[in-house]
Structure 1
Amino acid sequence: MAATSCKEAIARWEQNNNQQAIEAKVIELQFQFPPIAKMDGALSTLVNCEKLSLSSNMIDKIAGIGGMKNLKIISLARNNIKSLSGIEAVAATLEELWISYNLIDKLKGINVMQKLKVFYISNNLIKEWAEVVRLQECPNLKDVVLMGNPIMEAQPDIDSWRKDVTTRLKNIIKLDGIPIVREED
């Protein structure tokens, strides 16, 4: 069975929602059957889209979003994505990146995401502190979900984990869904 293309998924969305995708602010293409295997240029036609969900498909890399000049939130959870390469195409506007349950082990390229406020990357393959430290390069980052990565398993307990992350990421106010309480100097 052939994968669903982005063009087919968008056409299906238009039919189900009785709306032109080009005008929509929120487009949900998750749980396609058969799943979407590849992000492509059809996504760039979604010029007014502010929130795009492509979760629970079989996507292996980020692509085709260069024309999405208003995108603020993208959900790519539960796919087969191995790197953040390609996300830089929406760096000027993206505020939330939901990419949990993928195969990402490096956060190379996250530094271009200067407007990023929310980053959900639980249950991936991050195992080195150097990768977590890269998040310091996102000045607006406030909410991070990192649990379920191999790096967390190396910690003796949840308190050590939270202390180690918040020591490295001084700007965040929420970690793994729980607000951070810092002792005042």
Structure 2
Amino acid sequence: MIVVKFLRLNEWKAKMPTTIKQALKKWEEATQRKAAESKEIKLIGVSPPIEKMEGPFHLLANLEKFSLSTNMISSITNLQSFKNLKVLSLGRNVLKSLQGIEAAADTLEQLWISYNQIDKLKPLRNLLKLKILYMAHNFVREWREFEHMAELPVLEDLVFIGNPLEEEVSPTGKYTDEVVKRLLYLKKLDGFPVIREVEEEETEEVSGTMDLQEIDRMANNADEDDAEEPGKPPDDDDEYDDEETRAPSDTEAD
């Protein structure tokens, strides 16, 4: 009877989730490093899995990259304890909401949350330093969620493939264009460089500027030639030439 109870107790303990405190202790033993002094910590695929973002985070003052992917975390909490966190990896968990991510807004530059169940992106609008967002295979279905990402001034790399919205729009051939026109600073989408079409008016303006620059260059060359031949007598067309060389400068002044 005692043996049966002991076995059941072990089975019960085995089913209990691992706490982050326990996981950090095992990480220190495996790496022979102190968590409190480390800039990067990986608690990936812990068994039994981590379910809650609770632990002695206040001790991780130096931490810049925290990897918690492939666990069973259901909510984002306690990020206010981190003072230098730049990269947070929470891919392959069971997140349904990004609520709580705003607590890392002062420092977070990269957020990896692919393979979760997230459908709303409003909490992202606070992450003004966010440069990279990997959120493939989530549940985003509406373009209006991009309004929140549009407020991120340095977001340049987005992985969005596998969301219902992407799967719906991609067959039409308009997916990339729709994303790019909403995220004006984006440089990379789903692993590919973003190529933006230059508007016709902008092209004409650039061409006009180049023409003025060319005229200036020619005028400067003419002035240098005159300087090399100080005794050259004036030609009949000198007055007209002077007006031509002065025109670009007057235009630019305006």
TM-superposition CA deviations, 1:110-157 (whole Å, max 9, x none):
111000000011100000001122101111100011110000122153
State the superposition RMSD in angstroms. 1.1
Following the alignment from structure 1 to structure 2, what is the Cα–Cα distance between the partners of residues 44 and 181? Answer: 43
Following the alignment from structure 1 to structure 2, what is the Cα–Cα distance between the partners of residues 9 and 158? Answer: 46
Q: Quick check: 1:49–1:70 contact (8 Å CA) kept in 2?
A: yes
Letter in 2 for 1:178: F
Q: CA deviation at 1:88?
A: 1.2
Match of 1:129 in 2: 143
Q: Quick check: 2:94–2:117 contact (8 Å CA) kept in 1?
A: yes
Matches within 5 A, 1:1-185: 1-157=15-171, 159-185=173-199
Letter in 1 for 2:178: D
The structure 1 segments of at least 4 consecutive aligned residues displaced by more than 3 Å after TM superposition are: none
Q: Quick check: 1:29–1:54 contact (8 Å CA) kept in 2?
A: yes
Unaligned runs of 5+ in 2: 1-14, 200-254
Question: Counterpart of 1:164 in 2: which secondary structure?
Answer: helix
Q: TM-score by structure 2 length?
A: 0.71
Unaligned runs of 5+ in 1: none
Following the alignment from structure 2 to structure 1, what is the Cα–Cα distance between the partners of residues 104 and 60? Answer: 13
Following the alignment from structure 1 to structure 2, what is the Cα–Cα distance between the partners of residues 45 and 86? Answer: 20
Higher helix share: 2
Following the alignment from structure 2 to structure 1, what is the Cα–Cα distance between the partners of residues 49 and 58? Answer: 19
Q: Quick check: 1:6–1:43 contact (8 Å CA) kept in 2?
A: no
- Structure 1 pair 144/131, CA: closer, same or farther in 2 (3 Å)? same
Q: Quick check: 1:42–1:64 contact (8 Å CA) kept in 2?
A: no
Structure with greater contact order relative to length (CA < 8 Å, sep ≥ 6): 1
Following the alignment from structure 1 to structure 2, what is the Cα–Cα distance between the partners of residues 105 and 14? Answer: 36
Q: Quick check: 1:44–1:64 contact (8 Å CA) kept in 2?
A: no
What count of residue pairs does the alignment treat as equivalent? Answer: 185
Following the alignment from structure 1 to structure 2, what is the Cα–Cα distance between the partners of residues 158 and 53? Answer: 36
Q: TM-score by structure 1 length?
A: 0.96
Q: CA deviation at 1:158?
A: 7.0
Q: Quick check: 2:86–2:108 contact (8 Å CA) kept in 1?
A: yes
Q: Quick check: 2:19–2:55 contact (8 Å CA) kept in 1?
A: no
Question: Counterpart of 1:79 in 2: which secondary structure?
Answer: coil
Match of 2:242 in 1: none
For structure 1, which segment, 53-62 or 154-163, has the greater mean C-alpha deviation from structure 2 after superposition? 154-163
Following the alignment from structure 1 to structure 2, what is the Cα–Cα distance between the partners of residues 87 and 57? Answer: 18
Q: Quick check: 1:139–1:171 contact (8 Å CA) kept in 2?
A: yes
Letter in 1 for 2:167: E
Letter in 2 for 1:22: A
